[in-house]
Structure 1
C-alpha cells in the first residue's frame, strides 16, 4: 500500500488516525475479512509513526472487534457477523429475527407528535397530524439499524415509549390497536451516514448504509405507517425471494419509436397490402403477434436453462 503519513496538524491522536484508516480499509474490503494486516514494520513505514502508535491503533481495532489477534500470529481482519432480512415481507425486523431465535434489542430515542414529516410520509398517511418515532435496533449490543417511523397521531394517541422498548411495533399495532399490517411498497437505496445516525450506529460519518423505506397498509387498506430504516451495510444483508412463476412478459413499445398516424407503417397492413376486411386480421398485426409469441418462447427456454 502507498505511504500515507499521518496529519500532525489533526487534533486527533496519531493512533486514532492510523486506526481510522485501517478501519475504513477493512470496512470497504480493501483488506478482506480473514486477511492478515500488514506487519508493524510496514505500518510504521507507511504512516511514519512509532511502534507504540501502531500497537495502540491495533489494540483499538481489536477491542472494537474490527481485527482479531491470536498469540504468536499477525492480526487479521475479523469476519463480521451478517444478519439477513427478507425485504419484501411486511413483517418487521423484530419478528423476522425472533423467528430465527435472535433477540433484537430496541432503544426508543424519541416519540412525539409533529405537524411536519418528509413529503412521502405526509402523502402516504394523508395528513400532517403525525407521531414521529425514532429507534435503534441492535443484537448483542451491536447496533444494526436506525428506524424513523411516522404514524397517524389520532389512531395511535395511546402509544408510549415503554410499550416499544424491546418490542415489535407491528405486533403492538395488531394486539393493542386492532391494526394488522398486511401490504406495502418498499424501496432500497445506498446512502452515506449523516452525523447523528453514524453516532447511533457506531460507524464513521459518511459510511455506506442501506436505506429501506416505504409505506404500510392495514387489513382494510388504510395507510398505517411510513418508515425510513438505515441499516449497517457491514452487518445486515437484504435477501429477496425470486419467483419465476410469477413473472410475466410485457412488451411495451417506446412511443418515440412509433410511426406517425399518417405514416403507411402506422396503418393496419404493410405498404402495398390491402386493408383487412371485416373479421380479418391485419397481416402486420399477425406478424407482431407471431414475433411476441417467439419472444415469449425464447425467454421461457432461457429461463428454464438458467
Structure 2
C-alpha cells in the first residue's frame, strides 16, 4: 500500500490528512476487510509526525466504525456486515411455516449460524411508546427480551411487547416459543398478521448496549421500532430492536406506483 504525504501548507490538520489517506486506501481496496493498518510507529516514521498525531488519525477511523482495535495485535479493517436484512422478505409467512423466525431465516441466508441468549420474559406496565402503539388505555403487557448472535458475534438486542390478554397462556409466555417464533404463535391463536410498520433511527449506544453487543467506542447502533398489525387492523406486538450498525445491511424494496 502506498501512503501519501502530508501537505504542510494545507489548513487541514495532519492527523485528518493521514486519516484521509488510510480511508482512501480502504475505499480503493488496497486495505481489505481483516487487513492490519500501519501501526502508530509506522505512521509516525512515514509521515514525520508525533505518535499522538498518528494515534488521532487511527482514532478517526475507529470513530467512523471502519476499523477495530484488537488488544495486542493491532488495528484492522472491519469485516463487511454479516447479515443482510431484506425487509420485503423477512416476515414472509413461508418462513414461519418452515419453522423459522425472521432472524433465523436471514442469518442462515447470509451464511451465518444464528443463536439467541439472555432470554427474559416479564409482565408489567407498558412503556408509553408501547402503550401508544398498542392503543392500550390500561392493562399489562408481556415483554420478551433477548440477544441475537451471527456465529459468535452479538449483533442485535430485541424486546417484544404484547398485550398480556393475547400472550398469556400461550407459548409466547415461555422461554422457547417454538418453531416460527412469536409470529407463528400469534397466527395459531387467530391473529393473522396483515402488515408491519417500522421506524428506523440511528444513535450511539448506551453503556449497557455497548457491553451486551461488545461494541468498540464510537460505534453507533441502528434502532428499528416495529409494530405488527393483524387482519382486523389491531396492533398485536411492538418490537424494539437495537442493532450493531456495522453488522447489518438493511435492504428495502419499494414499488413504484
Q: How high is the TM-score relative to the length of structure 1? A: 0.55
Q: Give the corresponding residue for 2:215.
A: 203
Q: What per-residue deviation string (whole Å, max 9, x for no partner) do you get for residues 198-251 of structure 1? A: 11111145531111112111233221101111111111010011322x2xxxxx
Is the alpha carbon distance of 1:165 and 1:42 closer, same or farther for their aligned partners in structure 2, counting shifts above 3 Å? farther
Tell me: higher relative CO, structure 1 or 2? Use CA pairs within 8 A at least 6 residues apart: 2
Residue equivalent to 2:152: 141
Q: CA deviation at 1:153?
A: 0.9
Confirm or deny: 8 A CA contact 1:125 1:223 kept in the other structure.
yes
CA shift, 1:179, in A, is 2.8
- Corresponding residue for 1:126? 135
The answer (yes or no) to whether the contact 1:187–1:214 under 8 Å persists in 2 is: yes
Structure richer in strand, relative to its length: 2
1:79, CA displacement in angstroms?
2.8
Equivalences for residues 1-306 of structure 1 within 5 A: 32=26, 34=32, 36-39=36-39, 41-42=41-42, 46-47=51-52, 60=71, 62=73, 67=76, 77-88=77-88, 91=91, 92-98=102-108, 102-117=112-127, 119-127=128-136, 128-158=139-169, 159-164=172-177, 168-175=181-188, 177-204=189-216, 207-244=219-256, 246=257
* Residues 103 and 160 of structure 1, relative CA distance in 2, 3 Å threshold: farther
Q: Quote how far apart the aligned CAs of 1:43 are.
A: 5.8
Aligned to 2:5: none
Q: Would the alpha carbon gap of residues 219 and 195 (structure 1) be closer, same or farther in structure 2, given more than 3 Å must change?
A: same
**Looking at CA atoms only, which structure, 1 or 2, has the larger radius of gyration?**
1
Question: Structure 2 stretches of 5 or more lacking a match?
Answer: 1-12, 45-49, 54-67, 92-101
CA–CA separation in structure 2 for the residues paired with 1:80 and 1:133: 30
- In 1, distance between residues paired with 2:245 and 2:179? 22
Q: Which runs of 5+ in 1 are unaligned?
A: 4-24, 49-56, 68-76, 247-306
- How many correspondences in the alignment? 202
- How many angstroms does 1:188 deviate by? 0.9
Q: How far apart are the structure 2 equivalents of 1:58 and 1:115?
A: 41
**Deviation at residue 41 of structure 1 after TM alignment:** 2.5
> Following superposition, which runs of at least 4 residues in structure 1 exceed 6 angstroms of deviation?
none
Do 2:141 and 2:162's aligned partners in 1 also have CA atoms closer than 8 Å? yes
